[in-house]
Amino acid sequence: MAERWKSANGYPVGKWYKTQRKNKINGKLSAEHEKRLNEIDFVWDPPQISKKN
């Protein structure tokens, strides 16, 4: 997901995705938060997106 992508109401979704990935890499993401993101099939490795299509 490109960092510049926004939702229909203008929320910076791409930036949010990037922040979640960065927080996980830096150890700043709680286990509960990571679990919840995994439950919605959060894509941790952006190249996986092209593999799904």
Domain that holds residue 24: 13-52
Neighbours of 18 (CB within 10 A): 15
Q: What is the pLDDT of residue 46?
A: 78
Whether residue 17 is contained in a domain is answered as: yes
Residues 20-42 have pLDDT tens digits of 999 999 999 999 999 999 999 99
Count of the separate structural domains present in the chain: 1
**Cα 8 to Cα 31: distance, rounded to the nearest angstrom:** 30
User: 1: pLDDT confidence band, cut at 50, 70 and 90?
Assistant: low
Whether residue 1 is contained in a domain is answered as: no
Answer for the pair 23, 14: CB distance below 8 angstroms, yes or no: no
Whether residue 8 is contained in a domain is answered as: no
Q: What is the pLDDT of residue 53?
A: 47
Whether residue 4 is contained in a domain is answered as: no
User: 3: pLDDT confidence band, cut at 50, 70 and 90?
Assistant: low
